[in-house]
Amino acid sequence: MQSDLDKLLGLFDLTDAGDDVFVGQHPEQKTARTFGGQLLAQGVIAAGRTIAKGSPPVHALHAHFIRGGDVERPIHYHVHRSRDARSFANRQVTAMQGDAEVFTMLVAFQDSSAGLEHAVSTPEVPYPDELPPLGEHFKGYEDRIAAFVDALHPIDIRFANDPTWKARETGERLEQNRVWMRADGTLPDNPLLHVATMAYASDTTVLDSIITTHGLSWGIDRLFAATVNHSMWFHRDFRFDEWMLYATESPVAAGSRGLASGRFFTLDGTLATTVVQEALIKHFPARD
């Protein structure tokens, strides 16, 4: 039986349709619309498939989500080669279903070189081996958060604070979330796959701080959320089959949109990646 990580890696095995078009599929565990992390990850793979061997690694990506993907149809990733240089490369990826654009993403590749160095410190939290696996947090909440319980789980997730549904039960309001993550198994020695897996995982828990700031929870409160845009900057090398701390917070929510930012730290405290995501978020309070 395939593991969930094997299923995720299978989603990264895009079909080459020619003319820089690559076709991606959906997992068996389907959601109402295409998971944003899947679009990010498959888009990264599509862009990377047009980069020559030995070319610079991924430096940044900036994605805009245009409409929800149909999980019953494949997605065609059209790659435009904007630039190829010795230490730089740029690609634009447009995900299509028929004539409809699902999302578009700019992916930048750049070699690293010596320069100024500094970074913020990693937050102080318990180590992942001291924390329970995600499944422990599901117990007793299976009916209320069924969408999360039944989803694909290729990422090993360890909350350093209570997840949204438990925080709500205790009345706790969290202005920040701290979550350890890694691929739930060993990834191949291909840096592009590690970037794609992180991109997939980065769309998980990043919005939590927006709603926990208000004492709300996915699956329990009447919430609607849809990602508008998502950016990532890759500062240093990493392996995503090793533990990384995803530290997220929300600096602002206004105009029915919430902004969340996150940082991935390696186990030794090195800041590897920065994430910013904006989403449409609406809360419909229950009527008395």
Residues carrying an active site annotation: 203, 227, 277
Task: For residue 150, give every residue at least 6 positions away whose Cβ sits within 8 Å of its Cβ, in sequence order, or none.
Answer: 29
Cα–Cα dist 28/107, whole Å: 28
Ramachandran area for residue 164 (φ above 0: left; ψ -120 to 50: alpha; else beta): alpha
Cα–Cα dist 67/226, whole Å: 9
Using alpha carbons only, give the angle 6, 58, 277 rounded to the nearest 5 degrees: 80
- Residue 171 identity (one-letter amino acid): G
Cα–Cα dist 204/191, whole Å: 21
Task: For residue 181, give every residue at least 6 positions away whose Cβ sits within 8 Å of its Cβ, in sequence order, or none.
Answer: 155, 156, 157, 158, 201, 204, 240, 243, 244, 245, 246, 264
Among 28, 27, 34, residue whose Cα is nearest residue 96: 34
Among 106, 73, 101, residue whose Cα is nearest residue 89: 106
**C-alpha distance from residue 13 to each of 66, 90, 103, 109, 117 (Å):** 24, 22, 19, 21, 36
SS3 218: coil
